[in-house]
Structure 1
């Protein structure tokens, strides 16, 4: 009998793997609805939906493997990373979906959230004030108007599967919607900055690198407390706190 592997689990949702089937358990039905809707719209490969019985969504496993993980070594050839960039460009060029996504929060909302998190990080002694202040300044470049694109919203490196130099699928679409395309690029290369040139070789021109770097800082500042409170370690080598230190 296949063993049950816990892929990720916290108080909001969990993903389990049993053989070649992934079971996503999410108490928020709207997130599952968004994921199913997004996968039907995107011009990139996604997992096949096997069945759906809220709060569970069953998906077929994708062939190949991921390009790495945050805090771990990056794998794959430059051509594989470029293929991921090309897939991301196709996504961002697709017709806009009907709903705003995680990457589409307003500048005012992001600014307020960022200010709150920075204050909490310093007040609670989570991070040194100088580190927070420096990254808050870097993050400022991301707080600007953008042209909406179809975004994944949580395009971590572990969400993109490749086989050789071909993208076989992108998973976890529950945060998808209209948003800032550079947020996706920054999330995908977070902690793997040395791969950004390879990604852009496939993605194409017209990318403001200062904004990508700003999103590295902004996303990391917003994530540190949540990760700590939900059993993850943003202080692990190569993870969010190291990303913030790199800006110093």
Structure 2
């Protein structure tokens, strides 16, 4: 979505420069929410400066941020020992609990609301899934939509807090064996904490996608994960899965299959779902 550069300065210093091309000034809410999170102990970069310039009739927004050392957990997952990997994911869970302890200004950031599935869109997505996988997978999509409609129309809306908005291993920096930073706050905003748990399930790679238990274990050092999720993780996971399955620019085959599998599990499918075209 943005251009991102590591800029080397004199004296072996470096900063990160991000450039957005949006119709309105960008990165302002992101900078505010990063500051709020850092105040409660979340390791995130300091925003050193924001600038918005007109360039040949196009608005460019610049965010200059502190450079945080490390490599993403996504890259390192296959190289770490089992013990080190578990420790890193649990530490990430503790950081997530700190993120969720923030109640930001209601006007800041994105509000991630569950969307009531529209029949036309569900039909379109089910058709895509049937073509790419099989009719059984398409039936799973329809069950997921029914489940989501039931949750939205029969339950009171969950309490909201700050959420990171893209909580997954690729946005966790590991340095010297510890979580040195959580990056990419562009989608941060307000919703149920369950949103971030659902993001992990759908967006973590194969090594970590089924280790949400480790995230919850670390979370429990600060707060009760079950109380935070309040039974909403399934709804947010299905909502995100349905969106990804309908992307005009398709998700990768692995992501596509993962979305269907997660919906199947949360809708208690009794049928073993094939993942090859049938």
Tell me if TM exceeds 0.5.
yes
CA positional deviation for 1:164 = 4.6
Q: Is the 8 A contact 1:100 1:179 kept in 2?
A: no
Local SS of the residue matching 2:63 = strand
Structure 1 residue aligned with 2:116: 111
Local SS of the residue matching 1:167 = strand
Aligned length: 224
Normalised to the residue count of structure 2, the TM-score between the two structures is 0.68
Structure 2 CA distance for aligned equivalents of residues 167 and 142 of structure 1: 35
Local SS of the residue matching 1:121 = helix
Q: Is the 8 A contact 2:16 2:66 kept in 1?
A: yes
In structure 2, relative to structure 1, the CA distance for the partners of 1:243 and 1:187 (3 Å cut) is same
Asked if 1:49 is matched to 2:47, the reply is yes
Structure 1 residue aligned with 2:30: 35
In structure 2, relative to structure 1, the CA distance for the partners of 1:133 and 1:78 (3 Å cut) is same
RMSD, aligned α-carbons: 2.9
CA positional deviation for 1:137 = 3.8
Structure 2 residue corresponding to 1:221, chosen from 209, 218, 242: 242
Normalised to the residue count of structure 1, the TM-score between the two structures is 0.76
| Cα shift readout 1:90-146 (whole Å, capped 9, x = no counterpart) | 1111233332644542x5xx115x655423323xx3222313213324545763410
Structure 2 residue corresponding to 1:80, chosen from 68, 75, 88: 88
Structure 2 residue aligned with 1:185: 197
Structure 1 residue aligned with 2:129: 127
Local SS of the residue matching 1:175 = coil
Structure 1 CA distance for aligned equivalents of residues 29 and 65 of structure 2: 15
Structure 2 CA distance for aligned equivalents of residues 90 and 142 of structure 1: 27
Q: Is the 8 A contact 1:45 1:168 kept in 2?
A: yes
Structure 2 CA distance for aligned equivalents of residues 141 and 74 of structure 1: 42
Q: Is the 8 A contact 1:50 1:58 kept in 2?
A: yes
Query: Where does the alignment leave 5 or more consecutive residues of structure 1 unmatched?
Result: 1-9
CA positional deviation for 1:175 = 2.2
Structure 2 residue aligned with 1:92: 100
Q: Is the 8 A contact 1:101 1:153 kept in 2?
A: no
By relative contact order (CA 8 Å, sep 6+), the higher-ranking structure is 1
Structure 2 residue aligned with 1:3: none
Query: Where does the alignment leave 5 or more consecutive residues of structure 2 unmatched?
Result: 9-13, 53-60, 131-137, 265-278
Q: Is the 8 A contact 1:141 1:211 kept in 2?
A: no
CA positional deviation for 1:150 = 1.3
- Larger-Rg structure: 2
Structure 1 CA distance for aligned equivalents of residues 149 and 231 of structure 2: 10
Structure 1 residue aligned with 2:69: 63
Structure 1 CA distance for aligned equivalents of residues 66 and 120 of structure 2: 40
